[in-house]
Structure 1
C-alpha cells in the first residue's frame, strides 16, 4: 500500500508540472500575439499618417482650434478606422460636397478621479446621434479637386453647437446669428437689381425669419413635452425585453405585480396633474395678439401628443397587461388614464 501511495504522488506532481508548462506556453503565445497586433496597429497608423498632407492639416487645425485640442489629438482621432477615406472623397474632383465631424466629451463618474474622455469622428449625419457639437466643411463647387492652392477659397467651415439646447436650438442659432445677418448685408442677388432685388430680398428674409420662429416654437414644445416617470424596478425592466408568453408566466410573481401597481399609480397621478393644469384658466395681458394665442394652442397640442405617445408606449402596455393578468384592483383606477 505504501508503494502504491508513493507511486501516486509523483504522478500528481508530474501532471501539475505539465499543466504549468502548458499554461506558461499559452501565456507566452498570447503575449506574443498581443505584441504582434500592437506592432501591426502602429504600422497601419503610420501608413495612414503618411497619407496626410497640408489639406488635412488645414481642416484639422481649424477643428482643433475650435475644440481646444492639440493637432496630435485631432490627428490621432482621424487615424482610427477608415475615416481618411472620407477626406480623400472630399478632396477629389466630383467627390462628396461636405465633410461632417461630431465631437463628444464624456465626464468621468463621480469619485473615480478620472479625466474627461474626448471623441472626434467623421460622420455622414444619418446614423450617429447628434452629440451636441457638429463641425462641417462644405465645397459649393465639386467639379474641381481641392488642393492646397484653392482650399482657402473653395472650402467653407461651419459649426453647430447646441449649448444644451439640442439640435433645434443649434440650427436656430446658426440661422439667427450667422446666416440672416450675412444675407441682410449682402447687396448682390444674382441677376436681380434695383427695386426688384430689394423686394425679393425682403420677402426671402421674412420667410427665413418666420422659419426661425417655427424652430423656436418647436424647441419650446420639445422642452415642454410630457415624460412620465421611468421604470426603475429591475424585474419590471427585464420584462420589457421578454416575449408575451414569458410576461404572462411572470404575472403570478407577487413582487412583479406590486411593482407594476406602484408605477401605474405613479403614472396616473402624473397624468391627473397634467390634465388639471391644462384645464386651468390662462391669464394673458390685454395686448396679446392672435399669434400668442396660436402659439399657446400649438404647445398644448404638442404636450398632449407627447402624453398620448407615452400612454401608447410598449412599457405602458406591458404594465397594463400585467395588471389585467393579475386582476389587480389598481386597474379600475388606472383604466381610463392608461388606455
Structure 2
C-alpha cells in the first residue's frame, strides 16, 4: 500500500514538472508564489519536498479539510526523530486542517505526520543523520534555510509569511471552474519591524473580516438577538482594528530620547552626581545631552501644537485615533523623561545650579499638560465611539435610532469635559460626524459604489433618497432638542458653534438629492410621450 502511494506521488511530481498540472493545483501554486514572493517552481519544490500534494488533494475534496495554514519563513534545517501527532475528534463532522509539526530546532531531523479525518497517516519522511564523536555522543550541524510548509499557528511562531487557505463550503467539491470562488486566501506578514505584523493584521481585519461579517449570513443570524450580536462583534472588530492602526502610527512616529554621548556616563545616585561635579568634561557632556533632549521634546510639542491638517471627508473615527495617537506619543515621551538616565542627569544639573534646568522644567510642564489633555479627551471620545459605530456599519435607516443618543453624549461632553468642551473641538467633532453621514448616504445610494442612480430602478433610488433626507431631518431635530435642553438648564453653557458650519455640507448634499428627485419626476412625466405615440391634443395637454 505504501509503495503504491509513493509511486502515485512520484507520478504527480513528474507530471507537475512537465507542466501537466491539475488547474486547481496550479491556481494554488500561483497564489502561494504571489504571497510568498518566490517563483512558482520554487513553491512546487517545497511542496514536493514536504510531500504535501496529497494534503492539498484532501483539502480540495468535499468533507475533508476546511483550511490549510502555510508558513514561509526561515527554519532550523535540523533532524527530529520525534513525531508530533494531532488527533482529530472522531465525532467531528468537519475534519480539521492538516497541521504539520513545527520545524524543530532540536538535535534531530523532523518527521511529520498529518492527522486525517479517520486515521493518522504514516510519516512521509523519517531520516536521521548523526555524526559520532570519539565519546560516542551524537552531534549535528544546525543550519537555517527558508521553508514553505503547513503548520499549526498555535505552535509555530510566525517570523515570515503566513498564508491561510480556507474553504467557502467544505461540503462542496472544488472544480476547475469554481476554485477561485471556493478557495480563499488570507496573508499575514511578520518581520524584524513589528509594524509589519501590526499593519498586516489591521488590514486583514478592516478589509476582510469586518466587510465579511457585515454582509455575509452566518450563525449569528439564527441566534436570539442576532442583530445585536452581529453589531457587537462588528464594533469590537472595528475598535481593535483602530487600535492596531494607532499602534502602527506610534511605532513609526515615536520619539526616542538620545542615548548617552561618549564621555558622559549615566549617573545612578547622589554620590555619583557629586563626583561628576568635580569633572568639568563630564559636566559639559551631561549638559549637552540634556540640551539635545530639550530640542527633541520641543520639536514634538511644536508638531502637536500646530494646526491640524485633515481631509475634508474626515470622520469621527479619525478624531478618536488622533487623540489616541496624541496620548500614546506623550505618554511614551513622559515615561522616558522619568527614566533613571534622565533623573540622574537632572540631579547633576540641580547640584550644579545649571540654567538649563529651568528650560527643562518648562518642557516637563508642557508635556504633562498635553498628556493630561489627551487622556481626558480620549476618555470622552471613547464614550462617543459606541454611537459612532452605526455611522460606519449601518445604512441611513439603521443610523436614525442612534442620533439622539449621539447628541446626548455630545451634551455630556460639553457639560463636564475639562478640555474638550470648547466650541472649536465640539464643532470639529460634529463636522466629522456630518462627513461620515454623507459618506454613508453616498455608499447607500450607489450600492457600495457598484451602481449609479441611472443603473438602478428609479423607484429604488427614490426610496433611498427619502431615507437620506429623513436622516438629515432627524440629525437637525436631535441637535435642536439638545440645544433647547441646554438653554432650559440653569448654569449650563449653550451650544455656541455655527449651525451652518456643522450642517451646511449635509444641507447642500440633500439639495442635490432633491434635484435628482425632481429630475426623476420630469422623466416620469414625459416618459409616456417618448415611449408611445402621442396625439396632438395629448401633446398640448402635456405642455
TM-score by length of 2: 0.34
Bigger RCO of structures 1 and 2 (CA < 8 A, at least 6 apart): 1
TM-score by length of 1: 0.50
